[in-house]
Amino acid sequence: MFKFLLFLALLFLFTQTNAEKNLVLFQLFTRHGARTPIHKLPNDDAVWYCENMMDEAPSFDQSSTEHLPFIFRRVFIMDSGEYLGNCTHGQLTKTGSEQHRSLGKKLRAKLIDTGFLDKTYNPDEVYIRSTDVDRTRQSAQSLFLGLFDLPVDSFSRQDSHISKIVPIHTLEKSNEYLNTNGNACPLVEWLQYIMKYDQEYLQHEASLADLKAQMKKIFKTDDIPALDDIADTIECRIAHGVSLPDGMTQEHVKQLEDEMFWQFNFTYTYKNLSRYALGLGLRDVLQEMILKINGLTTIKFKHYSAHDTTVAPLMYIFGVQTGQPTYAAHIYFQLYKEAGKYFVKLEYQDQPIIIPGCKDVYCPFQKFYQIAMDLIPQPYYKACRNF
Ligand SMILES: *[C@@H]1O[C@H](CO)[C@@H](O)[C@H](O)[C@H]1NC(C)=O
Ligand SMILES: *[C@@H]1O[C@H](CO)[C@@H](O)[C@H](O)[C@H]1NC(C)=O
Ligand SMILES: *[C@@H]1O[C@H](CO)[C@@H](O)[C@H](O)[C@H]1NC(C)=O
């Protein structure tokens, strides 16, 4: 009997806490999906084929595609670019777009099946923000298709139930603050420069001599890219099942991955670099929460589509040592309401994170506000130029 009562009590507690914490705002940061390389290896003979997933409507009609007679597609001329095939460097591939579509589908269960968002795209609820780079805009598009369960070619489908232009809000690259950008914050560039003269960095560099010598042997040249650039290109190959360069072993791959981790980990724990790199990204997150709490916005879902150099500093700000985030890596900033009080829950790769300074994964908003305000450098632009 007692056991049964205990069970009821527990059930009550359980349903209480679960039923009462209502999601009111979901903010998502992602790294783009798998892409072609940015750095060419010596004698690079890998072939890359890309579907171009960015069909564009003629730009005269800003509201609807319903009566458009045609759309345009960019096609890269075969074998005439930097790589063999028809991709440009750093282009989102089909694999990359599928990674974002499946993330969108996963979020559909969390955000649409629960009734949190309207079943079809509602511009009053959904806000998309992206860096102005093809692969991040395309990643945002792919996630959108997964979220609203739309076919990949919905744009050209006659029976499609969506015929709206979906805005993707962006900034000019020179002042984009959603990634590590020395243009937007010169202090970041300065820190990235001086960290290379830090004793620890120099010692680490010295320890790489052997790996560098092996890479020179594999590529049969002394003129090799930086090890983390090689690592990045190898990551692209592995993601697409493209074979490793001749002579490269799994052990080399492991060493390159470790080097990539080290570079990210050193950079984003160096002085306050992460806070300067993504301080304004965090400010945007906080601002959106404040608008929501004060009933000043109808937005419920905000997607910031960006880079590894976005996701990493944003998590390092909160003490999570991510190394280089994987393709389609994701961060959730969730705002919940319970009995008139607000709570923030942070997740990285679907793992709840206890924000340093909070007792629980559900951090009271007031506490989160104080923590975030201390982490955002202020006054930001002055600090970025005053060194
Ligand atoms: C690139 O080439 C592949 C293989 O021939 C082809 O399937 C694909 O449609 C091409 N991409 C574009 C945008 O034409
Ligand atoms: C990452 O960097 C921090 C700060 O330099 C260091 O304390 C930590 O051990 C590093 N993490 C790993 C896994 O190497
Ligand atoms: C980082 O910022 C904190 C708080 O603003 C400051 O106290 C600290 O001195 C800074 N650290 C470095 C290494 O600049």
- What are the pLDDT digits (tens) for 127-156? 999 999 999 999 999 999 999 998 876 555
Distance CA 302, CA 166 (A): 13
Q: Does pLDDT of 161 surpass 80?
A: no
Which residues lie below 8 Å from residue 44, measured CB to CB, with a gap of 6+? 37, 83, 233
pLDDT of res. 10:
46
User: Could you say which ligand is closest to the alpha carbon of residue 323?
Assistant: 2
Instruction: Tell me, in angstroms, the distance from the centre of ligand 1 to residue 49's CA.
Output: 6
Residue 51 Cα to ligand 2 midpoint, Å, equals 39
Integer CA distances (angstroms), 220 to 230, 233, 234, 251, in order: 14, 17, 17, 19
Angle at the Cα of 274 from the Cα atoms of 270 and 275, rounded to 5 degrees:
120
Spell out which residues line ligand 2, taking CB within 6 angstroms. 265, 269, 321
Question: What is the per-residue pLDDT across 335-360, written as a single tens digit (0 to 9) for each?
Answer: 999 999 999 999 999 999 999 999 99
Pairing, β 84-85 against β 126-130:
unpaired
Q: In angstroms, what CA-CA distances link 221 with 146, 230, 245?
A: 44, 14, 14
For residue 53, what are the CA distances in angstroms to 57, 135, 184? 13, 10, 29
Indicate whether 165 pLDDT > 90.
no
| Structure tokens that stand for 1 in this block | 């009997």
| Closest ligand to Cα 86 | 1
pLDDT grade, residue 73 (50/70/90)? confident
Residue type, 175: N
Cα(227) to ligand 3 centroid in Å equals 30
Give the residue whose CA is nearest to atom 9 of ligand 2. 265
Rounded to the nearest whole angstrom, what is the distance from the C-alpha of residue 269 to the centroid of ligand 2? Answer: 8
How far does the centroid of ligand 3 lie from the alpha carbon of residue 375, in Å? Answer: 10
User: CA–CA distance from 66 to each of 60, 63, 98, 125, 267 (Å)?
Assistant: 13, 9, 26, 22, 48
Q: Are 27 and 19 in contact (CB under 8 A)?
A: no
Question: Structure tokens of 300?
Answer: 């419920």
pLDDT greater than 80 at residue 174: yes
CB 70 within 8 A of CB 84: no
Q: Compute the CA torsion angle 46, 49, 54, 58 (nearest 10 deg).
A: 110
Q: What's the CA gap between 75 and 87, in Å, rounded?
A: 9
The residues, any chain, with a CB within 8 Å of residue 294's CB and separated by 6 or more, are none
The one-letter code for the residue type at 281 is G
- What distance in angstroms lies between residue 69's CA and the mean position of ligand 3's atoms? 57
Q: Which atom of ligand 2 is nearest to the CA of 270?
A: 5
Token readout for 372 is 């975030």
**pTM (whole model) above 0.75:** yes
Mean pLDDT check: name the lowest of 40-54, 67-81, 372-386. 67-81
Q: What is the number of other CB atoms lying within 10 angstroms of the CB of residue 223? A: 7
- Bridge partners of 127, per DSSP, are 302
| Closest to 110 measured CA to CA, from 361, 350, 360, 346 | 350
Q: What is the 3-state secondary structure (H, E, C) of 280-297?
A: HHHHHHHHHHHHHHCCCC
* Residues 14/104, Cβ–Cβ less than 8 Å: no
Contacts of 14 (CB under 8 A, 6+ apart): none
* Strands, E assignment, 22-111: 22-31, 47-48, 84-85
CB neighbours of residue 250 within 10 Å: 8
Nearest to 98 by CA among 52, 162, 28, 34: 34
Give, using CA atoms, the residue closest to atom 7 of ligand 3. 272
Closest CA to 364 of 289, 283, 314, 299: 289
Residue pair 224/215 in contact by the 8 Å Cβ criterion: yes
How does strand 363-364 pair with strand 341-348?
A: antiparallel
Q: Is the pLDDT of residue 2 over 50?
A: no
| Confidence (pLDDT) at 171 | 97
The protein residue whose alpha carbon is closest to atom 8 in ligand 1 is 51
- The predicted-structure confidence for 214-263, as pLDDT tens digits, reads as follows 999 999 999 999 999 999 999 999 999 999 999 999 999 999 999 999 99
Nearest CA to ligand 2 atom 4: 269
pLDDT 10s digits, 12-54: 444 445 548 999 999 999 999 999 999 999 999 999 999 877 7
Ligand 1 atom having least distance to the Cα of 75: 13
Instruction: Report the mean per-residue pLDDT for the chain.
Output: 91
pLDDT of 1 over the 90 cut: no
Cβ neighbours, 10 Å, residue 367: 16
